[in-house]
Amino acid sequence: MEPAVEGDAEMRGGPDPEMAATMGFSGFGKKARTFDLEAMFEQTRRTAVERSRKVLEAREREEEERAEKDLRSSCTSSSPSASDARGTGTASTQRGKVWSESENSSDEELTGPSKQSPTSVHDPAEDTDDEDDDFIGPPLPPGFKDSDDDYDDDAEEEDNNPVKKIPDSHEITLQHGTKAVSALGLDPSGARLITGGYDYDVKFWDFAGMDASLQAFRSLQPCECHQIRSLQYSSTGDVILVVSGNSQAKVLDRDGFPVMECIKGDQYIVDMTNTKGHTAMLNSGCWHPKIKEEFLTCSNDGTVRTWDINNEKKHKTIFKPRSSQGKRAIPTSCTYSRDGKLIAAGCQDGSIQIWDRNMTVHTKFHCRQAHAPGTDTSCLTFSYDGIVLASRGGDNTLKLWDIRQLKEPLNSAERLPSFFPMTDCCFSPDDKILVTGTSVKRGGGSGKLCFFYRETLQKLYEIEVTDASVVRSLWHPKLNQIMVGTGNGLAKVYYDPVKSQRGAKLCVVKTKRKERPAETLTQDYIITPHALPMFREPRQRSTRKQLEKDRLDPVKSHKPEPPVAGPGRGGRVGTHGGTLSSYIVKNIALDKTDDSNPREAILRHAKEAEENPYWISPAYAKTQPKAVFAEVEPEDDETDKPEWKKRKI
């Protein structure tokens, strides 16, 4: 039955070299090949018969050799004739048996190797050799090697050459935006990637949910108009820490909804210990590796603070870096050790200061001249063994430190340009390689991802990523994939189809989803009541008549108003002058006073009103008494009156 099994393996096709060359996935999506099963079974049967004959011939030769050895030994112990007769009989007997077995196998068309003859006797050592030499089934294909041997050879080769461990054979590019990708975060399981940039956006990428189009499933601006400085998933992967250019860090859940926001401190208090939060721009932040509710932030206010996700009203503890003169030092990067017992901060004065998490006053380790003063130490990261600390300085260097002897660096690499305050570095999963990126000016070449050997900081390998700076780099230990954020808005993922797990391998094999006709947006027709035929106004056949009517309409034709004649009316000033003041000056001299007696002007209508009453008299005709007016006496001559009786005028 083994040849049949091998035939099934041949029917399945075996490993495709093109498929292996294109990460093992290019075969998906193609039509299945058609197989001629009868021809395959016939080929398998012939191969099995041929293999059986070869095995029988080898056994026959071995038996002949043993017979000759027995013959020689019998010759030394007994007479030559008897030994010859016995040897000849034994040899002929065994040859006859082998020949009969071969004839039976050829007549019955053996589909496997024949059983070993019970008359043949072997030593145990020879049995082991035969078992190693004999194979069951058809011959192996040319160039085939045992998988165990290949694995051992590859492991030895990787140990001798660390470059073989770098998963850079394939890459995918995620388009975040047009500005620099200043933050990268990958959850512990490696299922989701988040990117943040100078364009204030945070985008969520799901490797299992993406297809070959590589589109983000969510984009948001959690901090409005502030650049994103750092993004990191917690140790459990259920919440995300967002550190931006403002003074308040935020915590989001996996889907981007806000969970908490740190409080802002009082900027008018001198002693930062008495404030509840940061009062200046944040620089960096990270989660505690063991406690999922605690995270760390550092700010330009000269403090490093720890927070509890359940208490957003006040920080948990505060650390204040100091310079050698005792003055305030601004921390530009901060991190926890792998066990969470130490807190390290890199400061603008070039120092690296490390505290015990439970002792906030004095530093446990410190180095005053780790990097050049006045430069931003953009990243601090601990190795997986917790002994070595790597620092990426703004003085274009990468240094390794032993935290037990922090006076001098173990090794240093120079000429690594860094133009961004968040250029970082990271260790490989096996803790033997250190990775960082380099910055370039526009048109100054390609940004590179450099790999250094941890023991000596010698450059092992470099990848030219793109024609912009490499800002962020992240080597995930579970996926064994490298994420890179660049200065032109790209997020690249490097992986190897053999060495890497999941991650980008899940989305590249999915074809782009075709748009269904029902999902395509069509132009909707807007139907109004007057657009219906029964309500539609009849269209003018001739536009000339309509234009003539519009010309007669002063509103439609926009006919200008005629000039004002006379003094002016309707709030418009006449032609006397262009301004109101000129009009008033010209009309000051006009005398429009009425010199007539107002009483006479009214009484001249009295006769007509009395003869034809219309307004008041009819209403009071029956009730109004007759008017009695005083009679005017003629004026007396006052010349005869005494002076005291005369009217004084």
Q: Is 117 exposed, middle or buried (0-12, 13-18, 19+ CB in 10 A)?
A: middle
- Of 383, 390, 376, 388, which Cα lies nearest the Cα of 420? 376
Beta bridge partners of 390: 381, 400
Share of the chain above pLDDT 90, in %: 39
Question: What CA–CA distance (Å, rounded) separates 304 from 363?
Answer: 13
Split at pLDDT 50, 70, 90, the class of 213 is confident
In this prediction, residue 603 carries a pLDDT of: 86
Question: What CA–CA distance (Å, rounded) separates 57 from 98?
Answer: 9
CB proximity list for 313: less than 8 A, separation 6 or greater: 263, 276
Beta bridge partners of 392: 379, 398
Q: CA distances (Å), 311 to each of 247, 250, 293, in order?
A: 17, 12, 10
Tell whether the torsion through CA atoms of 49, 55, 57 and 59 is positive or negative: negative
Summary count for the chain: helices (H), strands (E): 11, 28
pTM score of the predicted model? 0.58
Q: Has residue 116 got a pLDDT over 50? A: no
Split at pLDDT 50, 70, 90, the class of 26 is very low
The lowest-confidence range among 3-12, 332-341, 380-389, 524-533 is 3-12
Mean pLDDT value of segment 137-159: 55
Q: Has residue 87 got a pLDDT over 60? A: no
Half-sphere exposure of 186 (CA within 13 A, CB side): 23
Q: CA distances (Å), 205 to each of 88, 117, 181, 252, in order?
A: 82, 66, 14, 15
In this prediction, residue 527 carries a pLDDT of: 62
Q: Has residue 548 got a pLDDT over 60? A: yes
Q: Has residue 276 got a pLDDT over 70? A: yes
Q: What are phi and psi of 445, to 5 degrees?
A: 120, -160
In this prediction, residue 636 carries a pLDDT of: 57
Q: Containing H/E element for 103?
A: helix 80-108
Mean pLDDT value of segment 522-546: 68
